[in-house]
């Protein structure tokens, strides 16, 4: 995510409250809950005999409800505008796949359509990160965020403040950094940023943001946020304790990390089959929650991007859970929903490539990380199962899954993984000093006992002898 550091921005936005507070140090008695200077009269209506005037005419900005958001738009063209008020003078700022250390950061203009993640942190890199997701549309929205210096987090600005900034946007619009400004990160880097970001977040729509974040519009995220129902690690508990005042929200993912893939109503072989194949569980969750294929892909994308950019361990574990416990264990889903599987595998390929080429530290090559080893073996098994399905039913949609897995194979090759290699359970390995050592791999033992090599189940009599055998004795 390297980008030019110390890039000065020519504008810094101040709230009206900040401006007003500098005007005088005299205490002023004020009634109400709004800060002094944050309320302004925009229009005076003359009462009529028909009753009081409407609070808001058609086409006016919407006031937020208890679970709503502020909807502002501008007519300056070029895409959405993101404004960040009162951010400290020198801060690390990131949006999508680009990050940099900025002085007097005010915001970004010309944000293209689609989902976008913005985040900020102290340039020392030792503090927690906070940010927000938005979905840019063709309506040219103005998103106004404000730095809460007491809790050291970002929050949505109040309606009055947001409207004032929107009304004055024309005065400083061109001074904001452009999302696609070549001087910011270079034409090639900018184009690559847009391309890889669309591959990584193309399924994160309004429904995904609303379901996970619990609100329409802007979804605030933080290093200390946790997946609903997830078991907290010691480090996460400490973060929650420190940032409980301004963060520590619950993210409502549809697939519970503690959920079992089998139903308690199943018994015997049926329960064992559901435990080994997550297809029935995924389809049941999708039906119960009303999830589309794009919603499932979007949740996987949201978990990964929020996890790696904000250092959110709970989101990273949610991604691992979806990948290892569900997606790569749902072999029947290849036939039941091949287009969903193909989309998930294309996303995985983009995430592996992003991990290698864009991130400063890899979550796939962490020292002592057993999950990376589990992922490699899961891909090997998945490749074998897919080959069996393609051989039996080579329909176009299933072939699309095979094509998507080829992209995963290519991305995994950068990690030194060969998911099509023939792995032997036992064999001899020649050490550096020439000594031959007998080794045995137990990870793929279950795969060696499938198909024609599967153990035969027989029925025994009371004396432990196999029934249905021919006996030549009287």
Q: Which range is least confidently modeled, 23-37, 132-146, 265-279, 355-369?
A: 23-37
> Which tens digit of pLDDT belongs to each residue from 20-76?
333 333 444 444 444 444 545 444 444 455 554 444 444 445 544 434 445 688 888
SS3 helix, strand, coil % of the chain, rounded to 5?
Answer: 40, 15, 45
Can you give the pLDDT at residue 354? 94
Can you give the pLDDT at residue 367? 47
How distant is the alpha carbon of residue 215 from its chain centre?
A: 16
Going along 47-129, which residue ranges are E strands? 80-85, 90-95, 98-103, 107-111, 114-121
- pLDDT of 8 > 50? The answer is no
Residue 437 confidence class, pLDDT cut points 50, 70, 90? low
Alpha helices in 113-264 (DSSP H): 159-167, 169-172, 182-185, 187-201, 206-213, 234-242
Buried b (16+ CB within 10 A) or exposed e, 178-202: bbbbeebbeeebbebbeebbeebbb
Residue 322 φ/ψ region, left for φ over 0, alpha for ψ in the -120 to 50 degree band, beta for the rest = alpha
Q: Which range is least confidently modeled, 39-43, 190-194, 225-229, 296-300?
A: 39-43
Domains and their CATH numbers in the chain: 71-202 (2.60.34.20)
| 118: phi then psi, degrees, rounded to nearest 5 | -115, 140
Can you give the pLDDT at residue 65? 42
- Over residues 261-272, mean pLDDT: 64
Instruction: Give me the residues paired with residue 110 across strands.
Output: none
Mean pLDDT score of the chain: 78
Would you call 337 exposed, middle or buried from its count of C-beta atoms within 10 A (0-12, 13-18, 19+)?
buried
- Over residues 204-231, mean pLDDT: 89
pTM of the model: 0.77
- pLDDT of 234 > 90? The answer is no
Q: DSSP state, 76?
A: S
- pLDDT of 317 > 50? The answer is yes
User: Higher-confidence residue: 425 or 142?
Assistant: 142
- Over residues 236-253, mean pLDDT: 67
User: Higher-confidence residue: 100 or 72?
Assistant: 100
Residue 428 confidence class, pLDDT cut points 50, 70, 90? low
């Amino acid at each position: 995510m390297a980008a030019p550091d110390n890039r000065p921005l020519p504008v810094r936005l101040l709230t009206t409250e900040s401006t007003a507070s500098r005007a005088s140090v005299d205490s002023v008695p004020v009634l109400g809950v709004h800060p002094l200077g944050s309320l302004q009269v925009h229009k005076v209506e003359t009462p009529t005999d028909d009753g009081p005037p409407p609070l808001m005419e058609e086409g006016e900005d919407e006031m937020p409800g208890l679970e709503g958001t502020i909807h502002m738009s501008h007519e300056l063209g070029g895409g959405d505008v993101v404004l960040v008020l009162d951010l400290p003078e020198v801060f690390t700022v990131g949006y999508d796949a680009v990050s940099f250390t900025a002085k007097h950061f005010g915001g970004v203009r010309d944000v293209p359509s689609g989902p976008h993640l913005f985040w900020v942190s102290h340039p020392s890199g030792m503090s927690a990160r906070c940010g927000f997701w938005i979905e840019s549309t063709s309506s040219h929205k103005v998103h106004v965020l404000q730095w809460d210096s007491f809790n050291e987090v970002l929050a949505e600005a109040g309606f009055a403040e947001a409207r004032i900034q929107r009304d004055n946007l024309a005065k400083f619009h061109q001074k904001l950094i452009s999302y696609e400004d070549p001087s910011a990160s270079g034409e090639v880097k900018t184009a690559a940023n847009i391309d890889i970001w669309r591959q990584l977040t193309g399924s994160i729509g309004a429904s995904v943001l609303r379901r996970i974040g619990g609100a329409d519009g802007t979804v605030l995220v933080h290093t200390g946020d946790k997946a609903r129902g997830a078991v907290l690690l010691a480090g996460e508990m400490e973060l929650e304790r420190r940032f409980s005042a301004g963060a520590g929200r619950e993210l409502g993912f549809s697939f519970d990390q503690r959920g079992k893939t089998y139903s308690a109503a199943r018994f015997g072989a049926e329960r064992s089959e559901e435990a080994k194949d997550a297809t029935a569980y995924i389809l049941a969750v999708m039906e119960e929650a009303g999830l589309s294929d794009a919603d499932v892909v979007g949740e996987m994308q949201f978990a990964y991007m929020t996890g790696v950019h904000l250092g959110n361990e709970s989101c990273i574990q949610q991604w691992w859970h979806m990948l290892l416990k569900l997606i790569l264990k749902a072999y029947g889903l290849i036939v039941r929903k091949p287009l969903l599987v193909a989309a998930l595998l294309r996303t995985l390929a983009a995430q592996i490539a992003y991990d290698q080429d864009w991130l400063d530290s890899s979550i796939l090559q962490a020292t002592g990380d057993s999950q990376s080893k589990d992922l490699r073996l899961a891909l090997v098994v998945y490749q074998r199962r897919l080959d069996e399905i393609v051989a039996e039913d080579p329909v176009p949609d299933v072939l699309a899954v095979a094509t998507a897995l080829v992209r995963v194979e290519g991305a995994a090759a950068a990690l030194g993984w060969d998911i099509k290699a023939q792995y032997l359970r036992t064999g001899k390995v020649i050490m550096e000093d020439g000594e031959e050592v007998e080794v045995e791999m137990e990870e793929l033992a279950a795969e060696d006992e499938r198909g024609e090599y599967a153990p035969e189940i027989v029925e025994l009599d009371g004396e432990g002898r196999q029934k249905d055998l021919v006996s030549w004795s009287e």
